[in-house]
Amino acid sequence: MIGVAVLGSTGTIGDSTLDVLARHPADFRVVALGAGRDVGKLADQCRRFRPDYAALADPDRALQLERELRAAGLTTRVLAGEQGIEALACLPEAPYVMAGIVGAAGLRSTLAAARAGQRLMIANKESLVMAGPLLIAAARAAGATLLPIDSEHNGLFQCLPNGEADPAHGVDRLWLTASGGPFLRWSAEQIAAATVEQAVAHPNWQMGRKISVDSATLMNKGLEVIEAQRLFDVGPERIGVLVHPQSIVHALVEYGDGSFLAHLGAPDMRTPIAYALGWPDRIETEVARLDLAALGSLDFCAVDAGRFPAINLARQALEAGPAGTTVLNCANESAVSAFIAGHCGFLDISLLVGDVLSRFLSGNLAGTACETLEEIGQLDRYARFLAEEWLKRSPGGGAEGRALG
Ligand code: MG
């Protein structure tokens, strides 16, 4: 029986993880559940899975959770704050950790799991983008096993020999597919007027709002190019992106002999989660099986960088070194929050990120090595400051933003 800690348990990755775990009660035990603010949902999960530990990042709500669990007669130990979540990542009785907290908020706990030498199932792509070299080095030093949950990277991992993109084994290029998001066939004018509700309505995947907006700008794919570079240690020129609207082929590995190995599956996160839990074996899920005959055809096309500039911004950040990708991520998080809050228009997201990135590159923090959390924290605050400045300055920025839905 293997103990599992699920961080971000009330989000979509958490739901999918608990669904897979519930199907394998003889093999896995839910030892710890961690979330941000959703007391009601976490209390429900505790009543169902009876973990030894639960933590909420919001300390006041952690007190509320404690009261609810005691009233329900549960003995689950409740921890509070970011330290509480970090503690769950390091439990010896839970050597499998699902890092499912979205954004920079998941960085400390993801790094803590790496340092503790856990099986780190990494769904938090932002921590690889913000702190990739630090995280990879920590995992290596502690002997942690890093297994990607992001569907494209999980697919690459499955198609690579021993999960490694070593040219000595004939690996040439890695290909990530992108659905193209809800605006794939929209004109530039239509995209400029896109509302929040339109941006979060992803055609294939049920996801949280932040990643859904990232999928609409295609910044999600930009972050994933960086994530692939970090995970598989390949140059950006060896990582390609293909638009594939059906989201059935998640990734392809191109070999020097002309072979392409592709990973196919229904767009359902339970498949990569089950793979990471079972690896190197496979465990069953209730995911609907592909019916290729019913699908009939699969389509592919190149990315239109004119309407979707985000992938090139990510490549530019990657060229700039570790500090570049930290700043890109933080600027993007600021821009997406501002868009969701109605403080800027959809196109402003990429404009803001591009502006923050170029200001940063011409400033004196551009060479930051990003070897410590303090350095990364400093860049994070700097990028968010530049983003705030941009929002105040931009013609349509601020409360009366352009293209409000
Ligand atoms: Mg993905």
For the beta carbon of residue 133, count every other beta carbon within 10 angstroms: 15
Domain identity same for 136 and 159: no
Domain identity same for 217 and 114: no
Confirm whether 115 is domain-assigned. Answer: yes
Q: Is 240 helix (H, G, I), strand (E, B) or coil?
A: strand
Structure tokens at 387: 């983003």
Residue 405, pLDDT > 90, answer: no
Confirm whether 305 is domain-assigned. Answer: no
Give dist(CA 212, CA 67) in Å, integer.
34
pLDDT at 232: 97
Confirm whether 312 is domain-assigned. Answer: no
Q: Where a domain ends, among 148, 174, 208? A: 148
Residue 87, pLDDT > 60, answer: yes
Q: What is the domain count for the chain?
A: 3
Q: What is the distance in A from the centroid of ligand 1 to the CA of 267? A: 10
pLDDT single digits (tens) 317-355: 999 999 999 999 999 999 999 999 999 999 999 999 999
Confirm whether 281 is domain-assigned. Answer: yes
Contacts of residues 23-26 at CB distance under 8 Å and 24 or more positions apart, as own/partner, are 23/284, 23/285, 23/286, 24/277, 24/283, 24/284, 26/1
Confirm whether 337 is domain-assigned. Answer: yes
Residue 106: give its domain's CATH number.
Answer: 3.40.50.720
Q: What is the distance in A from the centroid of ligand 1 to the CA of 53? A: 29
Which residues, 6 or more positions from 125, have their beta carbon under 8 angstroms from its beta carbon?
Answer: 150, 223, 224, 227
What letter does residue 270 receive in the DSSP assignment?
A: H
Q: Where a domain ends, among 148, 183, 215? A: 148
Give dist(CA 119, CA 273) in Å, integer.
12
pLDDT single digits (tens) 392-402: 998 655 444 44
Q: What is the distance in A from the centroid of ligand 1 to the CA of 151? A: 5
Q: What is the distance in A from the centroid of ligand 1 to the CA of 244? A: 13
pLDDT single digits (tens) 157-171: 999 999 999 999 999
Residue 206, pLDDT > 90, answer: no
Confirm whether 306 is domain-assigned. Answer: no
Q: What is the distance in A from the centroid of ligand 1 to the CA of 404? A: 27
Confirm whether 315 is domain-assigned. Answer: no
Q: What is the distance in A from the centroid of ligand 1 to the CA of 79? A: 31
**Closest to 380 (Cα-Cα) out of 345, 348, 346, 356:** 356
Mean residue pLDDT across the chain: 95
Q: What is the distance in A from the centroid of ligand 1 to the CA of 11? A: 15
Determine the residue type at 259.
Answer: S
pLDDT single digits (tens) 43-83: 999 999 999 999 999 999 999 999 999 999 999 999 999 99
Q: What is the distance in A from the centroid of ligand 1 to the CA of 292? A: 21
Q: What is the distance in A from the centroid of ligand 1 to the CA of 256? A: 25
Chain centroid to CA 117: 21
pLDDT at 401: 41
Domain identity same for 119 and 52: yes
Q: What is the distance in A from the centroid of ligand 1 to the CA of 215? A: 9
pLDDT single digits (tens) 263-302: 999 999 999 999 999 999 999 999 999 999 999 999 999 9
Q: Where a domain ends, among 120, 148, 176? A: 148
pLDDT at 397: 53
Domain identity same for 113 and 17: yes
> What residue has token string 């190019």?
225
Confirm whether 396 is domain-assigned. Answer: yes
pTM: 0.93
pLDDT at 395: 64
**Closest to 405 (Cα-Cα) out of 239, 168, 201:** 201
Domain identity same for 54 and 88: yes
Q: What is the distance in A from the centroid of ligand 1 to the CA of 77? A: 34
Domain identity same for 362 and 232: no
- Per-residue confidence at 31, pLDDT binned at 50, 70, 90? very high
Domain extent at residue 346: 320-404
Q: What is the distance in A from the centroid of ligand 1 to the CA of 209? A: 14
Mean pLDDT of all residues in 21-40: 98
Domain identity same for 267 and 375: no
> What residue has token string 């941009």?
390
Give dist(CA 232, CA 160) in Å, integer.
10
Q: Which backbone phi and psi does 79 adopt, to 5 degrees? A: -110, 155
Q: What is the distance in A from the centroid of ligand 1 to the CA of 336? A: 17
Q: What is the distance in A from the centroid of ligand 1 to the CA of 26? A: 30
Domain identity same for 6 and 135: yes
Q: What is the distance in A from the centroid of ligand 1 to the CA of 379? A: 25
Mean pLDDT of all residues in 231-247: 97
Domain identity same for 32 and 122: yes
Residue 235, pLDDT > 80, answer: yes
Q: What is the distance in A from the centroid of ligand 1 to the CA of 150? A: 5
Residue 380: give its domain's CATH number.
Answer: 1.10.1740.10
Domain identity same for 183 and 266: yes
Domain identity same for 164 and 121: no
Domain identity same for 130 and 12: yes
- Per-residue confidence at 208, pLDDT binned at 50, 70, 90? confident
Highest mean pLDDT among 204-208, 309-313, 396-400: 309-313
Q: What is the distance in A from the centroid of ligand 1 to the CA of 221? A: 7
pLDDT at 396: 58
